[in-house]
């Protein structure tokens, strides 16, 4: 399966989906002009991956910010993970949030309640610029 590797920008997150080495991550900011155009390849990749997933799949989410349109697309991806779990595969989501960012922590908790996939909440300190 081909690796999905999208370099991040000021408006879009970095995405690395690599089945072979088991890395699945979305990091950065997400406020693309055309959210469907950006997220469609991610959703398509996850759908294809779900047909024959690794024994264990951990999705790393380390977002500084995402807009409402992006949140809907993230939910769609998380729902695909729920489908994998319901098919008997082991999946989890590592949700990183900055120590003082209650909004991002709350967003992760809301997703966890909605999709009922195991979430691991991980606080981190931002690196000073």
Domain extent listing, the chain:
4-124
Distance CA 17, CA 11 (A): 19
Mean pLDDT of all residues in 87-95? 96
Q: How many CA atoms lie within 13 A of 41 on its CB side?
A: 11
> Rounded to 5 degrees, what are φ and ψ at 102?
-65, -30
The band of 129, judged by pLDDT with boundaries at 50, 70 and 90, is low
The band of 127, judged by pLDDT with boundaries at 50, 70 and 90, is confident
Contact (CB, 8 A) for 3 and 18: yes
Contact (CB, 8 A) for 55 and 62: no
Q: Note the pLDDT tens digit of each residue in 33-88.
A: 999 999 999 999 999 999 999 999 999 999 999 999 999 999 999 999 999 999 99
CATH of domain 4-124: 3.30.750
- pLDDT above 90 (res 119): yes
Average confidence score pLDDT of the chain: 95
Q: How many CA atoms lie within 13 A of 105 on its CB side?
A: 9
Mean pLDDT of all residues in 15-38? 96
What is the reported pTM? 0.94
Name the CA dihedral angle for 120, 116, 86, 53, rounded to a multiple of 10 degrees: -30
> What local confidence, expressed as pLDDT, does residue 126 receive?
78
């Amino acid at each position: 399966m081909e690796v999905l590797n999208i370099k991040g920008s000021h408006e879009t997150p970095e995405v690395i989906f690599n089945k072979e080495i088991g890395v699945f991550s979305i990091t950065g900011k997400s406020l693309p002009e055309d959210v469907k155009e950006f997220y469609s390849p991610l959703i398509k990749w996850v759908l294809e991956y779900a047909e024959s997933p690794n024994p264990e799949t951990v999705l790393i989410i380390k977002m500084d910010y995402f807009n409402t349109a992006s949140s809907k697309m993230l939910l769609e991806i998380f729902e695909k993970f729920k489908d994998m779990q319901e098919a008997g595969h082991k999946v989890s989501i590592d949700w990183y949030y900055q120590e003082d960012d209650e909004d991002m922590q709350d967003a992760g908790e809301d997703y966890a309640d909605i999709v009922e996939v195991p979430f691991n909440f991980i606080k981190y300190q931002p690196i000073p610029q």
